[in-house]
Structure 1
Amino acid sequence: MPIRFDAADAHWRVAPLAAFSADQKDWLTRGGSLTAHLRALGHVVVRVTREAVDMPWPDECVALGLAPRERAWVREIVLEVDGVPFVAAHSATPVVASHGIWQAMRRLRTRPLAELLYTDSGVARSALVSRRVSARHPLHALAAREMREHVPHAFVARRSVFERHGAPLLVTECMLPALWARLARLAYLAGDAQPALPAYSTHSARERGPLGHTASRALQHPSQQASR
């Protein structure tokens, strides 16, 4: 049975914007656990910044199938790599689901949400969608709090809906400039001269559990893809 929820709308789109860099297209379309992908870059720590019953953001209501003024359980965290904020994340599920099917979300503390999502064969995931987030969106303020210096005009973010036994959980992840800086430095140190490929990953397709920690193949050289 296909997942009933869809994270896409007029602004959140499956295909990353053409103006995004190759690294951005890659990370916005990676399937599996973002926390697991970040661990390849260094030591990852989950810092919880807020957990509360709150009104969902306007563009979350449709994705979650919520009625007007229906509240959600919200969890906001920052994923730090080697002590530096790389991702600001915002997760929301209907309050009733937070006491039922997704009740374990309330007990995570500093454990990553991935522990709930990628070990359960009953969890299905919508397509990953992405967008550029400006100050008009509340996610921008969430990310800006983690910036010690210049706050960019816009951040790059992605989101998807996870469904378990008919209950939705919307996960939105905003990538911070430190992530792109780390990737650029690693590419420089590696002397990476391969041209960036414009294609985006096929992991935007819907996933059904268990959702493996599959890295994106968006930037692989054609010869590497042929050898798989």
Structure 2
Amino acid sequence: MIQQNPACPSPHWLTRDQLIEAPDTVVLEWLFHEDSLTRRLTRLSHDGFSVMPLFEGWQRLRADECAALDLADGSEGWVREVYLLGHGEKWVFARSVAGRAALERDGLHMDELGTRSLGELLFSDRAFARGPLQICQYPALWLPNADVAPGLWGRRSCFSRGPLSILVAEVFLPTVWHAIHHIADSHQERR
């Protein structure tokens, strides 16, 4: 579980048209790609994709999460933190949260996912509608200790089904950019 640091201010989550200074084209394309990140990472890793759970349980949600889910500040919710791996290497840190009352009424059992991808569940259930993607440079203090680094790009979007909303944030670690550039370089060499 990531320790919440009250001294760490919430980042400014921005939609694509709110960006003043955009990251490079490859980064921008990955951050705002609408398809399932799980499917995309599975293709990138040639089916070497897996999920490593870090934490799952009830906890007080951060202020930016409460605001995105339209919950009262300090509300409790289900938190799931995982690494998305390519060939056993940590590529993405993901944090998914849902408000307690809505999750309990809906009956979705996020606590039973284990090493399965939440993204696959959300994208395979047509009842879930995805809200707009937002990006930011994710606060280093919100990352697992082993991956604390400034300036890492993260994105988030809210998946809704009736009164249930699940906020999914994904932070791209330097290792995934190396893998993306390595694949791009390999394709260039074959031409």
Say whether residues 1:112 and 2:117 are aligned partners. yes
Percent identity, aligned pairs only, is 31
Give the whole-Å Cα distance in 2 for the aligned partners of 1:36 and 1:96.
Answer: 30
The structure where helix makes up a greater share of residues is 2
Matches within 5 A, 1:91-130: 91-101=96-106, 103-130=108-135
- Paired with 1:113 and 1:17, the residues of 2 have a C-alpha distance of 31
How many angstroms does 1:120 deviate by? 1.9
- On the 8 A contact 1:79/1:86 being kept in 2, the answer is yes
TM-score (norm 1): 0.72
Q: Is the 8 A contact 2:66 2:72 kept in 1?
A: yes
Q: RMSD of the TM alignment (CA)?
A: 2.2
Deviation at 1:67, TM superposition (A): 1.1
Gap runs ≥5 in structure 2: 1-9
Return the TM-score normalized by structure 2.
0.85
- 1:126-169 residue CA offsets vs partner (Å, 9 max, x unmatched): 1011011233x52xx23x52x4xxx5322100000011112111
Provide the residue aligned with 2:137 in structure 1: 132
SS at match of 1:40: helix
Amino acid at match of 1:191: Q
Q: 1:32 aligns with which of 35, 44, 48?
A: 35
Higher radius of gyration, 1 or 2: 1
Q: What's 1:183 paired with? A: 180
Q: 1:13 is matched with which residue?
A: 14
Which residue in the other structure is 1:46 paired with?
Answer: 51
**Aligned equivalents of 1:157 and 1:51: distance in 2?**
20
User: Which residue matches 1:153?
Assistant: 150
How far apart are the structure 2 equivalents of 1:175 and 1:112?
A: 16
Does structure 1 conserve the Cα–Cα contact (< 8 Å) formed by 2:51 and 2:115?
yes
Going from structure 1 to structure 2, the CA distance change for 1:156 and 1:107 (only over 3 Å counts) comes to same
